[in-house]
């Protein structure tokens, strides 16, 4: 197939102007670098006539778990949902692809979403290390959308309020983990090949706003079998020997199998799929230690739920109201959607397993080689006033950011606490009155612009102590051969994503440089701007429409802006894309509402790490072991990356030694931290013994730190505790 495409392109001997935009905290420097490209790219070892030249490929993964205690979890905006332990650890996974001339980096991170602040801090750190090699135009950061990672990595007021502020202790491990994953990918770069595959995954996703979806034109809807995108797209990476080194895949589903009642840090369903795939490739490695990197990325998941049993009224068992997702008694709070499992852990397991199995199948069958060149284009856009020509005479515009009333209703995956319902196209005098008194009234212009959205928070008009929402956003596209990755700064609904993919495909193919391009949406990328619905879905004003913060024409503006980038890539003129206005990097008025963790205390005559509730002497495979220790606050453990609060060790009789078989990153362990009265706390470690666990003797350890005072000086001291030894026997017994 088109074996000379890549060289044919490079033999044009074009003069490439690449604009490096160097971001510093005080100034923006624009340096134009001109690279004369010649046919030399095709020199070097001549590939066999039937083989394309390889890419250079690097993969890397790093722990980015933040403090697993007291910080709010990012996603449901539920102030009661603060971290209290670890279910699974959070990882950043990076892929670097280089065609010999240009390089792109795609990073997917087990977190709710990438914030502008996080991205700017990562880019700053990359610049210090790598100069101009990794920049805002060739690095995409995307969040998996787990709702069970620590919050506090935002610089805009709305998010700071729901995160207890801008928390250094939260953003630092994310920056360091992301950069470390890129470091590892960078140092592992080697010649390799890429294969792509695509396949349908059923029984893992449903549309949670079908009423909005049905408002899209019928002649558009009939083009699709489903009201969610069920295709997974996967890239397989191998070295030159054909050995697999990693994968990158996209599938549209919310990582919300774990509910608002969960208090454990967790990478949710998508993270579990990555966990299983890495374990499959390197079965003897501990979680997070495998050489193989399985990077699973989010997509146009805006209206897509993993809670496939759908919503019903918890109190009555009846169906919820179709438009409002509310119940006759109890309103939105009672209308909840459920996953396929017995509980949220089981639902996470089932959805994660489904995603993993499909990825594994696509990976092993991937045969279509991706060849050609690598390109990237990026622009900062002020999204508050993008003009879109509907036709020759009619021009519409995006708006200053604002959230509608139905934003406060939440979704059937996690409802709001107050009496808001989805589908509100009229304000509520009670809440509007409170809003006007506390935060100010939305201007007539903003109200008019967002119609029919009744504005709850006119965030674009609220600037104290810092702007409540971003105005400058990133649009960015990476292409690798016939695959285009569209980095969307938010959550696009199914149909919004389809329209954007089609528009980008059209532009890429318009110049003949691309044929048969696969366009994928990488969701939750670069900066968070909530949701993006179609114009028609917006009219219904369910949660997603109410959260489309730049107004009814947001999607049209993205189609325009991403279209410009796609055309520039197709014409090989990315250097001529204006960089756009750089986003702010706030130094002042960031606030932190999370008090420092106090000194720890413990019961009289006990020590930190002492066992309070001991294990039983014998368990069977499939049982749950539980042991409780006197603990310190996990926040005193500082940067907890690459550590573990938990060790499950197996005794080896022949060598009379202990082998580490599970850490707190393991699916089988749950580390729960329970804060008690008088600054005392406990740590309970559960081990859900796998049914195939070796019959042997085991023990469980817990590691932590406690804080005390030496005079006026706080002192942090490490401690550890160990359970009694227990036996795990076979599971054959009467049930
Ligand atoms: Zn979401």
675 near 632, Cβ under 8 Å?
no
Decide if 595 is inside a domain. Answer: no
671 near 685, Cβ under 8 Å?
yes
Cα separation, 619 vs 668, in Å, equals 15
Decide if 320 is inside a domain. Answer: yes
Cα 181 to Cα 21, 127, 194, distances in angstroms: 23, 15, 20
**Residues 622 and 531 occupy one common structural domain:** no
619 near 625, Cβ under 8 Å?
yes
Q: Structural domain of residue 666, as residue ranges? A: 611-729
- Dihedral of CA atoms 345, 349, 355, 357 in degrees, nearest 10, equals 180
Give residue 33 CA to ligand 1 midpoint distance, Å.
Answer: 40
Give residue 147 CA to ligand 1 midpoint distance, Å.
Answer: 8
Q: What is the pLDDT of residues 438-463, one digit of tens each?
A: 888 999 999 999 999 999 999 999 99
**Residues 86 and 39 occupy one common structural domain:** no
Cα separation, 561 vs 384, in Å, equals 13
Give residue 212 CA to ligand 1 midpoint distance, Å.
Answer: 16
pLDDT at 27: 33
**Residues 38 and 68 occupy one common structural domain:** no
**Residues 250 and 101 occupy one common structural domain:** yes
SS3 481: coil
Residue ending a domain, choose from 13, 36, 52: 52
Whether 305 sits among the annotated catalytic residues: the reply is yes
Decide if 450 is inside a domain. Answer: no
**Residues 24 and 69 occupy one common structural domain:** no
701 near 647, Cβ under 8 Å?
yes
Decide if 147 is inside a domain. Answer: yes
Residue ending a domain, choose from 554, 576, 598: 576
Enumerate residues with CB within 5 Å of ligand 1 (an ion).
491
Helix or strand (DSSP H, E) at 140:
strand 139-143
Of 170, 188, 204, 305, the catalytic one is 305
Place of tokens 């074009």: 14
Give residue 713 CA to ligand 1 midpoint distance, Å.
Answer: 43
Cα separation, 544 vs 418, in Å, equals 18
Interacting residues of 406 by C-beta distance below 8 A, sequence separation 6+: 420, 421, 422, 423, 424, 541, 542, 543, 545, 546, 547
Give residue 626 CA to ligand 1 midpoint distance, Å.
Answer: 34
User: Which ranges of 690-730 does DSSP label H, i.e. alpha helix?
Assistant: none
Interacting residues of 688 by C-beta distance below 8 A, sequence separation 6+: 624, 668, 669, 670
Give residue 608 CA to ligand 1 midpoint distance, Å.
Answer: 40
pLDDT at 562: 98
**Residues 19 and 83 occupy one common structural domain:** no
**Residues 181 and 305 occupy one common structural domain:** yes
**Residues 155 and 27 occupy one common structural domain:** no
Give residue 425 CA to ligand 1 midpoint distance, Å.
Answer: 21
Decide if 112 is inside a domain. Answer: yes
**Residues 321 and 342 occupy one common structural domain:** yes
Instruction: Count structural domains, the chain.
Output: 3
Question: Where are any strands of DSSP class E within 314-449?
Answer: 335-338, 368-370, 374-382, 387-389, 395-397, 403-404, 410-411, 414-415
CB atoms within 10 A of CB 492: 32
Residue ending a domain, choose from 52, 70, 87: 52
Give residue 270 CA to ligand 1 midpoint distance, Å.
Answer: 14
Evaluate the CA torsion angle 122, 125, 126, 131 in order and state its sign: positive
**Residues 118 and 207 occupy one common structural domain:** yes
Chain centroid to Cα 246, Å, comes to 19
Q: Mean pLDDT per segment of 10 residues, for the chain of length 735 residues? A: 34 27 30 33 47 93 98 94 98 98 98 98 98 98 98 98 97 98 98 98 97 98 98 98 97 98 98 98 97 98 97 91 86 91 98 98 98 97 96 94 92 82 84 86 96 96 97 98 98 98 97 91 98 98 96 98 98 96 98 97 97 98 97 98 98 96 98 96 98 97 98 97 96 54
Decide if 606 is inside a domain. Answer: no
Give residue 145 CA to ligand 1 midpoint distance, Å.
Answer: 7
pLDDT at 230: 98
**Residues 635 and 544 occupy one common structural domain:** no
Using alpha carbons, select from 184, 171, 175, 191 the residue that is nearest to residue 95.
184
**Residues 60 and 46 occupy one common structural domain:** no
Give residue 682 CA to ligand 1 midpoint distance, Å.
Answer: 33
Cα 175 to Cα 70, 71, 418, 641, distances in angstroms: 20, 17, 35, 12
For residue 651, what is the domain's CATH number? 2.60.40.2300
Give residue 153 CA to ligand 1 midpoint distance, Å.
Answer: 17
């Amino acid at each position: 197939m088109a074996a000379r495409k890549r060289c044919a392109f490079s033999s044009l001997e074009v003069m490439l102007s690449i604009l490096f935009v160097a971001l510093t905290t005080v100034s923006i420097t624009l340096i134009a670098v001109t690279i004369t490209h010649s046919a030399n790219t095709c020199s070097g070892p001549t590939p066999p006539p039937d083989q394309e030249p390889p890419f250079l490929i690097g993969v890397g993964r790093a722990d980015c778990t933040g403090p697993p205690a007291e910080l709010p979890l990012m996603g449901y905006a539920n102030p009661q949902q603060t971290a209290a332990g670890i279910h699974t650890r959070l990882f950043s996974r990076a892929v670097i692809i280089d065609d010999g001339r240009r390089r792109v980096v795609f990073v997917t991170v087990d977190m709710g979403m990438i914030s502008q602040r996080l991205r700017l801090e990562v880019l700053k750190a990359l610049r210090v290390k790598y100069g101009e090699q990794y920049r805002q135009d060739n690095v995409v950061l995307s969040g998996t959308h787990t709702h069970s990672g620590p919050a506090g990595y935002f610089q805009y007021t709305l998010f700071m309020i729901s995160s207890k502020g801008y928390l250094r202790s939260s953003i630092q491990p994310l920056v360091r983990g992301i950069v470390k994953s890129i470091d590892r990918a960078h140092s592992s770069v080697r010649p390799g090949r890429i294969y792509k595959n695509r396949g349908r995954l059923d029984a893992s996703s449903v549309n949670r706003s079908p009423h909005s979806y049905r408002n899209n034109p019928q002649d558009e809807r009939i083009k699709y079998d489903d009201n969610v995108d069920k295709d997974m797209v996967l890239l397989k990476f191998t070295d030159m020997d054909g050995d697999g080194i990693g994968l990158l895949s996209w599938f549209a589903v919310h990582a919300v199998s774990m509910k608002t009642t969960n208090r454990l840090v967790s990478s949710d369903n998508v993270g579990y799929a990555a966990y299983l795939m890495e374990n499959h490739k390197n079965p003897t490695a501990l979680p997070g230690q495998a050489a193989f990197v399985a990077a699973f990325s989010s997509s146009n998941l805006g209206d897509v739920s993993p809670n496939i049993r759908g919503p019903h009224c918890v109190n009555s068992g009846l169906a919820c109201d179709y438009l409002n997702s509310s119940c006759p008694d109890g309103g939105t709070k009672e209308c909840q959607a459920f996953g396929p499992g017995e509980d949220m852990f089981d639902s996470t397991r089932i959805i994660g397993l489904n995603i993993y199995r499909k990825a594994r199948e696509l990976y092993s069958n991937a045969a279509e080689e991706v060849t050609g060149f690598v390109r990237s284009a990026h622009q900062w856009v002020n999204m508050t006033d993008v003009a879109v020509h509907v036709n020759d005479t009619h021009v519409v515009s995006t708006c200053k950011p604002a959230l509608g009333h139905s934003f406060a209703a939440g979704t059937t995956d996690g409802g709001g606490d107050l009496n808001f319902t989805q589908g509100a196209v009229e304000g509520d005098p009670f809440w509007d009155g409170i809003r006007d008194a506390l935060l100010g009234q939305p201007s007539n212009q903003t109200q008019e612009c967002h119609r029919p959205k009744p504005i709850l928070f006119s965030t674009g008009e609220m600037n104290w102590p810092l702007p409540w929402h971003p105005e400058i956003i990133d649009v960015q596209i990476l292409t690798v051969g016939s695959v285009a990755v569209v980095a969307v700064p938010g959550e696009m609904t199914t149909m919004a994503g389809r329209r954007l993919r089609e528009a980008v495909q059209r532009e890429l193919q318009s110049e003949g440089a691309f044929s048969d391009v696969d366009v994928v949406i990488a969701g939750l990328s670069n900066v968070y701007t909530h949701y993006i619905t179609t114009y028609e879905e917006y009219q219904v004003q369910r949660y997603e429409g109410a959260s489309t913060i730049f107004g009814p024409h947001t999607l049209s503006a993205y189609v325009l802006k991403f279209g410009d980038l796609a055309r520039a890539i197709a014409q090989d003129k990315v250097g001529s894309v204006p960089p756009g206005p750089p986003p702010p990097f706030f130094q002042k008025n960031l606030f932190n509402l999370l008090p420092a963790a106090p000194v720890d205390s413990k019961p009289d005559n006990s020590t930190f790490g002492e066992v309070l509730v001991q294990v039983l002497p014998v368990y069977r495979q499939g049982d749950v072991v539980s042991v409780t220790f006197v603990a310190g606050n996990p926040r005193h453990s500082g940067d907890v990356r690459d550590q573990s609060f938990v060790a499950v060790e197996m005794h080896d009789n022949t060598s009379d030694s202990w082998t580490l078989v599970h850490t707190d990153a393991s699916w089988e362990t749950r580390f729960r931290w329970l804060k008690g009265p008088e600054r005392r706390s406990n740590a309970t470690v559960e081990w859900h013994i796998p049914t195939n666990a070796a019959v042997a003797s085991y023990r469980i350890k817990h590691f932590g730190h406690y804080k005390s005072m030496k005079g006026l000086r706080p002192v942090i001291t490490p401690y550890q505790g160990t359970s009694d030894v227990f036996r795990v026997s076979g599971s054959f017994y009467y049930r």
